[in-house]
């Protein structure tokens, strides 16, 4: 198994390209199930999760072609077309490693009137039930049953009638599934307390480009007027705000000066606010965002929250950064109950972090030392890389399959700005 070796202490400087957003792309790909016509996605990141989703789409009769792809390029252009659905079952062997697989449920139900989807897998960061996905679909008229580890959903004869659903708590995935089911429903559907993440906006924008009628994009109340059919479209995936935030932390922890080309300032407001409070300069420049640090890092207190709050997907990376800050920082994780598995690994590198339930207390200004560490989930993996970039000596990060799920050719990008980092084959 591959591993990454980092020689710490190198100041990062230069320009680093930001890829298309993983979390958006995994929502946009299943939109191809909603139409017979081609859907072309540009700026699609080269990631293991995207490859896995492509194989899952092939299971339903979707043809996928990649245009103009060169090994040295970041990103791809993929065209997906579903002239007819040949299957409506997503089997366990294809979905067990990827939680986003549940996002085929809504579009299959909307177009075919039925779907059978294995319960998904993904990162082991806590309990992430799909009950809100199912309750929303039931509110639209679907019949749901659970059997042998599968969700079986059926629409009435003639398709989903549509309906109203109010989310008791904000759920990004459930909002996405509900939107894709509602666009082909016979009537009007309303989603109250819907997620407002930029990735939700990206999904709505693609659906509208395909002919959907959606009101309230970017707001907590979304109204969808069902249409008879959708057509194809060509769409560019939004830049990855979590990747950009991760590399911003990498630049900051090394006292560097990095321009994140392609990053979108407005999608990162909470992350940028946290970085600035920690003593990092973040400014919009032509074509991206410049991140640099010319003074000490400062302690901050953060609590994760749905958008526009501080994203849970940035909690681990900020924790690594704050391990080098002056003073004591307090991080509270409100989204997932088991997202501090990176703490023991950071402590192995010399950090002083305590956890009390959903709260982590980071005693900063410690000297980090290189060590062999084990990645436990996607964002935890990146926190270890960030720590390794400023640590004294050599850091070896194992279990790279987590990183490969969410960061496109990470070691190549970090090398562009001066990091001493390489991927080597494992034993």
**Judging by beta carbons within 10 Å of its beta carbon (0-12, 13-18, 19+), is residue 206 exposed, middle or buried?**
buried
Nearest to 45 by CA among 371, 374, 409, 424: 409
Q: Is 144 annotated as a binding residue?
A: no
- As a whole number of angstroms, the distance between CA 303 and CA 358 comes to 10
- As a whole number of angstroms, the distance between CA 240 and CA 353 comes to 28
Q: Is 130 annotated as a binding residue?
A: yes
Q: 31, 123, 204, 390: which is the annotated catalytic residue?
A: 123
Q: How many CB atoms within 10 Å of residue 83?
A: 12
Beta partners for residue 116, in sequence order: 89, 152
Torsion of CA 399, 42, 88, 228, to 10 degrees: 150
- As a whole number of angstroms, the distance between CA 165 and CA 163 comes to 7
Residues 6+ apart with CB under 8 A from 168: 132, 193
CB 220 within 8 A of CB 192: yes
CB 81 within 8 A of CB 35: no
Q: Is 128 annotated as a binding residue?
A: yes
Residue 191: phi, psi to the nearest 5? -115, 115
Bond from prior residue into 308 cis (ω within 30 degrees of 0): yes
Please give the DSSP secondary-structure letter assigned to residue 125: S
Q: Is 313 annotated as a binding residue?
A: yes
CB 265 within 8 A of CB 70: no
Beta strand pairing call for 39-44 and 233-236: parallel
Q: Is 409 annotated as a binding residue?
A: no
Beta strand pairing call for 3-7 and 394-398: antiparallel
Q: Which DSSP helix (H) or strand (E) runs through 256?
A: none
Q: Is 202 annotated as a binding residue?
A: no
Q: Is 23 annotated as a binding residue?
A: yes
Going through 45-182 in order, the beta strands assigned E by DSSP cover 63-67, 76-81, 89-90, 114-118, 143-147, 150-154, 164-166
Nearest to 210 by CA among 419, 14, 34, 2: 34
CB 8 within 8 A of CB 385: no
Q: DSSP for 56-72, please give it.
A: HHHHTT-EEEEES--TT
Q: Is 129 annotated as a binding residue?
A: yes
User: Has 390 been annotated as catalytic?
Assistant: no
Q: Which residues are known binding-site members for UDP-N-acetyl-alpha-D-glucosamine? A: 99, 128-132, 313, 335
Query: Which amino acids are annotated catalytic?
Result: 123
Residues in binding site for phosphoenolpyruvate? 22-23
Point out the annotated binding site.
Answer: 22-23, 99, 128-132, 313, 335
């Amino acid at each position: 198994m591959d591993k990454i070796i980092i020689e710490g202490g190198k100041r990062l400087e230069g320009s680093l390209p930001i890829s298309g957003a993983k979390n958006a792309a995994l929502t946009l790909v299943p939109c191809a199930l909603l139409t017979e016509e081609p859907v072309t996605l540009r700026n699609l990141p080269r990631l293991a999760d995207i490859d896995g989703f492509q194989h899952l789409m092939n299971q339903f009769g979707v043809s996928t072609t990649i245009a103009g792809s060169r090994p040295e390029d970041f990103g791809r252009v993929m065209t997906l077309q579903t002239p007819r659905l040949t299957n409506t079952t997503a089997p366990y062997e294809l979905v067990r490693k990827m939680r986003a697989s549940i996002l085929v449920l809504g579009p299959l139900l909307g177009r075919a009137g039925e779907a059978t989807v294995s319960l998904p897998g993904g990162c082991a960061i806590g309990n992430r039930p799909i009950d809100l996905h199912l309750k929303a679909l039931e509110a639209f008229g679907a019949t749901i049953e659970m059997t042998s580890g599968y969700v079986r959903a059926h629409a009435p004869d003639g398709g989903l009638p549509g309906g109203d659903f109010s989310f008791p708590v904000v759920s990004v995935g459930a909002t996405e599934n509900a939107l894709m089911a509602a666009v082909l429903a016979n009537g009007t559907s309303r989603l109250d307390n819907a997620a407002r993440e930029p990735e939700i906006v990206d999904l709505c924008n693609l659906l509208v480009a395909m002919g959907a009628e959606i009101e309230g994009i970017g707001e907590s109340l979304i109204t969808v007027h069902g249409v008879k059919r959708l057509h194809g479209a060509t769409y560019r995936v939004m830049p990855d705000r979590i990747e950009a935030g991760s590399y911003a932390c990498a630049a900051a922890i090394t006292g560097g000066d990095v321009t994140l080309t392609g990053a979108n300032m407005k999608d990162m407001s909470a992350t940028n606010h946290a970085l600035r409070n920690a003593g990092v300069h973040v400014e919009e420049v032509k074509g991206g965002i410049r991140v640099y640090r010319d003074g000490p890092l400062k302690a901050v207190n953060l609590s994760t929250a749905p958008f526009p709050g501080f994203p849970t997907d940035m909690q681990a990376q900020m924790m690594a950064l704050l391990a080098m800050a002056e003073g004591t920082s307090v991080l509270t994780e409100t989204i997932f109950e088991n997202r501090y598995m990176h703490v023991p690994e950071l402590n192995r590198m010399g950090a002083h972090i305590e956890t009390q339930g959903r709260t982590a207390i980071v005693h900063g200004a410690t000297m980090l030392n290189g060590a062999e560490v084990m990645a436990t989930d996607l964002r935890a993996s990146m926190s270890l890389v960030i720590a390794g970039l400023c640590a004294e000596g050599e850091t070896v990060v194992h279990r790279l399959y987590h990183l490969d799920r969410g960061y496109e050719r990470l070691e190549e990008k970090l090398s562009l700005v001066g990091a001493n980092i390489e991927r080597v084959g494992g034993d």
